[in-house]
Structure 1
Amino acid sequence: MSGEDGEVAGVLRSVRWSVLDRALIRRGSTPAGVLRETVALAREVEALGLHRFWVAEHHGVPGIAGSAPTVLAAAVASATGRIRVGTGGVMLPNHRPLVVAEQFGVLESLFPGRIDMGLGRSVGFVGAVRDALGAGREEAERFGELIDELLGYFTGGGSVRALPAEGLRVPPFVLATGSGADIAAARGLPLVIARMADESRTLAAIDRYRAAFVPGAHGERPYVVVAVNAAVAASDEEAALRQVPEAWATARSRTLGVFPPLEPPGEILARAMTDRERRYYEEARAGALRGDERRMAGVLAGLAGRTGADEILLTLSAFEPRDRLDTVRRVARAAGLTAAR
């Protein structure tokens, strides 16, 4: 191993590694089958020695099966035995804080010491979904207040008690969108932030969070989780091919207003895209990282070094489930996780 390789390996070993699964539907699959694949992936991720496995929340999206993250988290936790399980995240404007506290209280009671409570502020992508959820911009603007109300149910003392949450300790994380970094810092909460195509914006938000962090009951120091869409394969070309379906689905969501099921990459590359579709497709690809195992080890180490991340949260982009698992295996090997050797 060269000195440079040794330095990269040292950086990769210094951070925690986790996975966020969004339960993306692909053409020919069913929502039920995709949800079972999520549970199966969680077992494999645990066996590889990663730290967390999180699931997401999306509503009314034809290409995503994960609409009830606390329910899916319960299934994942039941199928695993060590790995931390949580949400990335529960979109708090869509829910009553009392109900969220009760749900996480049940999860923590059933799986003590393994549950994380990732919280976001996003609302439905289209107006009809926002109306069905009863959530809109007004609720999103109250994100900080909703967090305070939610956390208050765990400490108790109010006129309404959230059982079995009261007295339990479920680590909360704030997903940074808009002012999320400031909300997390003011409350002394861990921050989860996506690597943006313009990485300077990510770095600026992290710096702002660290500078304003107020130590409290949930942490004495800032804790930063950087989420990144990644594909790692035997070659750069194969890694790039894996990310084609999601980039195309994202482009379609911008032109059609809905994120569709993933299509096979070969069919997409054979298609003649309009200039508008091509622009959105390339924008979607710009925020993701991809490459062969050795190259991506350096790329991910560089990301960890620039951000000072305590943890990297991988979102996996590929049409085939086996390719998503292959990315995790390659990252785990590069990070020197014991189970991956």
Structure 2
Amino acid sequence: MRMDFSLLFFPSQEPQYRPDRYQLLIEAARFADKQGLRAIWIPERHFHEFGGSYPNPSVIAAALATATHRVRLRAGSVVLPLHHPVRVAEEWSVVDNLSNGRVDLAIARGWNPNDFVLAPDNYAPRTDVTVTGIDVLRRLWRGEAVRYRNGTGEETEVRLAPLPRQGELPLWLTCTGGEAMFARAGELGANVLTGLLFQSVEELARKVACYRAAREAAGFDPDSGHVTLMVHTFLGADEASALATARDPFRSYLESSVGLWGQKEARFHEQSPRERDVMLTLAVNRYARTAALFGTPESVTGTVSAFREAGVNEIACLIDFGIDPDTVLAGLRPLRRLMEQVNPPGARATAQG
């Protein structure tokens, strides 16, 4: 089975204006477009230096639509309970028109209460709101009408204008927790976007098996579900120097992400500075060894094989975690070689969705 490769962006950056904030994104997207990578993933994140440069992925995708020709433009992810689903459908239909049908969406239910200042009533029921919103998105994308109250309180029908280029909207569900969300993705007939920050490869394999079983139980082809794994990536000509280049920026990046850790965040801040340092060192070493692609194309092929054995169909390479942008761009050339090494001629691609 072919392993797809794509690029995913989720930087930690100070909020002050900087003229080059999106330069790496644009240059990397052009590389991906020319070199046959599958997609560019753009996050949604609010009010924080960790990811906050990307509060609206549709705006970024619209810009990339005019700078690229082949690469897929994907939200990774739209936090659907923060928005009216009709508005999400409208924005991404425009991007689908601009890109001639290259839009895919991953949908997330959200986790950070502060993000929900945009829709505070949706925080508690966010899972149900997400599932309902996905149904509305799909119906609108197909050209169907949906009914909502208008300004005078009357029920009225609305349809998309403009209609998208694609007749069906390719959807992923972002799954970062237990098996329940993986099963929900299978029941919905959606693809999966996940990562390894809070799970091992062995745990992921069990969850992917649960996902495919849920697809089959819901009447979908279990093998056609597409599992995308977010993986921090930096490749170079020499394994030791590539790891040395990535280690300190990744450590700083991981520390800036503590707000994502949930209960682990509180435990982290309860530790002494020395204990936090040890905890971060252990986390960086474990992650670099088993959950990242830091090295050369040859040295990471075993890790890619482990991901494939776990049921992964695509590696979304997270490349903007603090390394100098010129160095990151240089590291994309070995990534092209890795793609060729792990995908022999004639390798079959996974049907998505």
Correspondence for 1:191: 192
Correspondence for 1:94: 82
- 1:33–1:171 CA distance, 2 compared to 1 (3 A): same
Distance 1:218 1:72 in 2: 33
Matched, 1:151 2:138: yes
Q: Deviations over 1:144-184 (max 9, x none)?
A: 22212222222314333232247843311111133331221
Correspondence for 2:297: 293
Matched, 1:49 2:36: yes
Correspondence for 1:274: 274
- 1:137–1:286 CA distance, 2 compared to 1 (3 A): farther
- 1:213–1:66 CA distance, 2 compared to 1 (3 A): same
Q: 1:131 aligns with which of 96, 117, 129?
A: 117
CA RMSD, aligned part only?
A: 3.1
Correspondence for 2:349: none
What TM-score does the superposition give when structure 1 sets the normalisation length?
Answer: 0.79
Q: Deviations over 1:124-155 (max 9, x none)?
A: 3xx44433553524324532222122222223
Distance 2:73 2:221 in 1: 18
- 1:50–1:252 CA distance, 2 compared to 1 (3 A): closer
Distance 1:334 1:71 in 2: 31
State the Cα distance separating 1:286 from its structure 2 match.
3.0
Q: Map residues 111-260 of structure 1 onto 2, 5 A cutoff.
A: 111-124=99-112, 127-134=113-120, 135-155=122-142, 156-159=144-147, 160-165=158-163, 168-178=167-177, 179-196=180-197, 197-214=199-216, 221-241=224-244, 242-254=246-258
Q: 2:307 aligns with which of 303, 308, 311?
A: 303
State the Cα distance separating 1:283 from its structure 2 match.
2.3
- Does the 8 A contact of 1:108 with 1:168 survive in 2? no
Matched, 1:35 2:35: no
Correspondence for 1:313: 316
Distance 1:189 1:236 in 2: 37
- Percent identity, aligned pairs only, is 22
Three-state SS of the structure 2 residue aligned to 1:142 is helix
State the Cα distance separating 1:54 from its structure 2 match.
1.3
- Does the 8 A contact of 1:17 with 1:51 survive in 2? yes
Distance 1:336 1:256 in 2: 34
Gaps spanning 5+ residues in structure 2: where?
Answer: 148-157, 262-271, 342-353
**Letter of the aligned partner of 2:31 in structure 1?**
E
- 1:206–1:255 CA distance, 2 compared to 1 (3 A): closer
State the Cα distance separating 1:278 from its structure 2 match.
3.2
- Does the 8 A contact of 1:83 with 1:114 survive in 2? yes
Gaps spanning 5+ residues in structure 1: where?
Answer: 1-10, 258-271
- Does the 8 A contact of 1:248 with 1:281 survive in 2? no
Aligned length: 308
Correspondence for 1:69: 57
- Does the 8 A contact of 1:46 with 1:82 survive in 2? yes
What TM-score does the superposition give when structure 2 sets the normalisation length?
Answer: 0.77
**Letter of the aligned partner of 1:49 in structure 2?**
G
**Letter of the aligned partner of 2:278 in structure 1?**
R
In the TM superposition, structure 1's runs of 4+ consecutive aligned residues that sit over 6 Å from their partners are: 215-220
State the Cα distance separating 1:207 from its structure 2 match.
0.4
State the Cα distance separating 1:185 from its structure 2 match.
0.5
- Does the 8 A contact of 1:57 with 1:66 survive in 2? yes
- 1:143–1:243 CA distance, 2 compared to 1 (3 A): farther
**Letter of the aligned partner of 1:173 in structure 2?**
W
- Does the 8 A contact of 1:53 with 1:85 survive in 2? yes
Q: Could you tell which deviates more after superposition, 213-222 or 33-42?
A: 213-222
- Does the 8 A contact of 1:56 with 1:90 survive in 2? yes
Distance 2:249 2:73 in 1: 27
- Does the 8 A contact of 1:254 with 1:280 survive in 2? no
